[in-house]
Amino acid sequence: MTNQDQIYCIYLDGTQYKMSGARPYQCAAFHAAEVFYADEKNNTLKYQFNNNGYIFTLKKHELASTYKMMKEDNTVQYLAQGDVAANKLLESMNATSSVLKETIPCPICGKVITYYARYPKMVCGDCGSKTVTATGEIIEFYNPYFLGSGFGSIVNGKKGEEHICYIYGKKCCAGEARFGGIVIQCCE
Ligand SMILES: [Zn+2]
């Protein structure tokens, strides 16, 4: 079930961002910010929301209907409307967060790379640029759709939807990353 009206709060808990239903003052801040940013002249400005004397600073975030909210003590939360936007924001925060310091070796060459729970066998960028087909032809992957979405492969200028590739003889699988782009994982 989806809930497109509910406001969610995304907050840092230890090293992981988590999501919960927003509290009344957060909902009020969100709705006031929506009104403020409805005027496109304000898009580059920060919006200050006064909650009984406590000032929260809201700034429009990259995704639609999402805001970065700073409290006076500089702690940061994110507000999002609708569970689709909130989940997307949560995932992207956890994927890009600098607080996540876990690393693993690239399964092909051993170079240390950031570990993403969603892509446990992801290969490094260097290895990801050396993909070939089972017969040794260079195969590349791309996102055919708007905002880096969708999946496509190219071999010898021919477009297709081939996911399987090989890197230094190891079988790998390419796919569309959840937030756009391509991710290549080793399947051995
Ligand atoms: Zn590698």
Is the pLDDT assigned to residue 2 strictly greater than 60? no
The string of DSSP letters for 101-121 reads --EEE-TTT--EEE--TT-TT
Q: Which pLDDT score, from 0 to 100, does residue 47 have?
A: 93
Whole-number Å distance, alpha carbon 89 to ligand 1 midpoint, is 28
Q: Which pLDDT score, from 0 to 100, does residue 102 have?
A: 76
Helices (H), the chain: 24-38, 83-96, 125-128
Residues whose beta carbons lie less than 5 angstroms from ion ligand 1? 106, 108-109, 111, 124, 127
Tokens of 163: 């996911």
* Distance (Å) of CA 83 to CA 7, 19, 60, 107, 185: 8, 10, 18, 34, 28
**Is 80:63 a contact under the CB 8 Å cutoff?**
yes
Whole-number Å distance, alpha carbon 160 to ligand 1 midpoint, is 25
Rounded Cα gap, residues 49 and 38, in angstroms: 15
Range with lowest mean pLDDT among 34-38, 115-119, 180-184: 115-119
Q: Would you kindly state where each structural domain of the chain is located, as residue ranges?
A: 7-96, 103-186
Tell me the average pLDDT across 43-50.
Answer: 90
Tell me the average pLDDT across 145-163.
Answer: 91
Q: Which pLDDT score, from 0 to 100, does residue 185 have?
A: 97
Please name which of 22, 12, 149 lies closest in space to residue 94, comparing C-alpha atoms.
12
Q: What is the mean pLDDT of the chain?
A: 89
Please name which of 82, 88, 84 lies closest in space to residue 177, comparing C-alpha atoms.
88
Percent of the chain with pLDDT over 70: 95
Q: What is the pLDDT of residues 57-68, one digit of tens each?
A: 999 887 677 899
- Give the 3-state secondary structure of residue 160: strand
CA angle 3, 11, 29 (to 5 degrees): 65
Q: What is the pLDDT of residues 94-141, one digit of tens each?
A: 877 655 557 889 999 999 898 888 899 999 999 999 999 999 999 999
Q: Which pLDDT score, from 0 to 100, does residue 128 have?
A: 96
**Is 179:169 a contact under the CB 8 Å cutoff?**
no
Range with lowest mean pLDDT among 9-13, 97-101, 148-152: 97-101
Whole-number Å distance, alpha carbon 168 to ligand 1 midpoint, is 10
Q: Which pLDDT score, from 0 to 100, does residue 75 have?
A: 82
Is the pLDDT assigned to residue 1 strictly greater than 50? no
